[in-house]
Structure 1
Amino acid sequence: MSKRKMIIAQDLQEKHLTEIRELASGWEVIAGRDESVWRSHLADAEIIAGWKKGMEETCLHESSKLRWVQSWSAGVNSMPLQALAKKEVLLTSANGVHANPISETIFALMLGLTRKIHAYVRNQSEKKWHHENMKLEIHGKTLGVIGVGAIGQETAKIAKVFGMTVLGVRHSGKPADFVDEMYTQGDLSTILPRCDYVAVTVPLTSDTERLFTYEQFKQMKSSAYFINIGRGEVVEEAALIQALAENEIAGAGLDVFEHEPLGVKSPLWEFENVIITPHTSGSTEFYNERLTENILIPNLKTYLSDRVPSVNFVDYKKGY
């Protein structure tokens, strides 16, 4: 009888591979980021950790053995969710891995805009000594966190160090540590006029697509900054450009965009009050380590005990 197969389409530390192989004793574990390592094993794989575009052609046919996929990203909107659901494949995400690096990026963008660091970096490249009329402080201000998951909660925690008031939005509306007031998505118009900073951390779902249109930017203070590290499609980009051009908001820090990479003709490149990063807010030296130790291995232990993996289990109906 052939061995059950697990593909890990990532390069892991040897200590983690050893632990996984010991846990899955009797299984064939194929590991490596290079496609040539695992491509010929896709049709027989029962578990895939690190889904890659194009795998569905081999993995989701009627007779495939695939039963569980561990995504290597927090967002799963780019995956073939309908096909996976139809095949009743269990899906778990990497939600939570990014809490530290992305919350750091959110504050880097907020502080950079507030203290005009981006302007001074430009001046430095020109050897230009200029004050830039820098006067704002982040301390004591109000932050709206749109999407209080692991990232949002870590962001709220950091905000309290700056003495900020934190207004949160989450699907359930349930209270969370470090969040002073919690709301649901339907309450956006209530909280946006109160915020000095708005940080968007929601995943892309049918409920969050184009959550921010010109109407939402119009509700914000003209002195407020908008930060988006969630997904580009959560924001109507043309509306954001209009809001910036008409000074409806003070500026923006953007890591995600409707179309990536951001086109060279996009007006967003030209705004002096916009900081752009290339969808790198989650990059960290500890990514694989955290995902493997905190999510993949615990889920594997559960799966091998004939139970449903519970860490970051994805509800196909919700899309996260």
Structure 2
Amino acid sequence: MELLVGEELKVNHTETGITGSARLVLAGDGVFPITKDKHGNILKHQPNTGIDIAGTIQGEGKLAGTPSLFIRLASCNLRCVWQMDDGSFCKCDTSYASFRPENKSVLQVGDIVDLVRHNIGNMQHVVITGGEPMLQKEGLAELCRLIKKELHLHITVETNGTIFDKEVAQYIDLFSISPKLSNSVPSKDKLEYFAEGETGASKFHHEVRRNLNVLQSYIYFANSLEKDLQLKFVVGKASDAAEIKNDYLDLLMGYSQNDILLMPLGASQQQIAQSTPIVLKMCIQNGWKFTPRVHIDLFGSKQGV
């Protein structure tokens, strides 16, 4: 399928070599939460966590509660908008990195590694998220390679599971894959509600967004190299259970029951509270794992936490 990256977000990696000079386009706070710049100098502003040290915790999935630094890459090929169980609409909770990436910055991979180096402290985990990180797979591969070579950190990549790249995958410790259910398609009425224009992502109907070949590649790769994997479904309706089973789990091989996680839909504490009883019941009925969204409980719906 054609990958949709805005012209302003295209980065030429072909001339950059493999020494940290490739560039990546970051969104929002980029590398966060941090207290030092790439040279190790103290920054004037305090992290958005309200804590006067670098770092936060992973809020979701198997590693929820784990101290981590985050790297947020810009742009997404899906740009999800969901419908809540009450009929209201819920936009992607990181739409500032996916719909119209805000506060974009283009950084050399070496500078990103230095930001991590000076802020990682006693933490051992880096989470690379988006947007959709795999849209920038060439620079991402170099970033992961250097993080492993120079800093020896655990790397989680958060992806929607529509793009697989073996060069990137070899450096990842946890593939956090969030396959998107049909409820996430950014239909015309949803986009109009948020005053968003239609984009190429709007044409990605469910059968295109649901890329079983890519998902199976992640599972096989994780199993072959004994890497960890989670299939993390965002759920907002009781009917989602049948779709998870029929359109995904019954058609994939090689995963374990422990790899299936369900997360309540919502970009705010109020929306998550509405979805949570649905997801909790679904998890118990099917033996799937429930994952909280601890960062929203702790910090609310804001960037850089």
| TM-score scaled by length of structure 1 | 0.30
Give the structure with the larger strand fraction: 2
Larger radius of gyration: 1
| TM-score scaled by length of structure 2 | 0.31
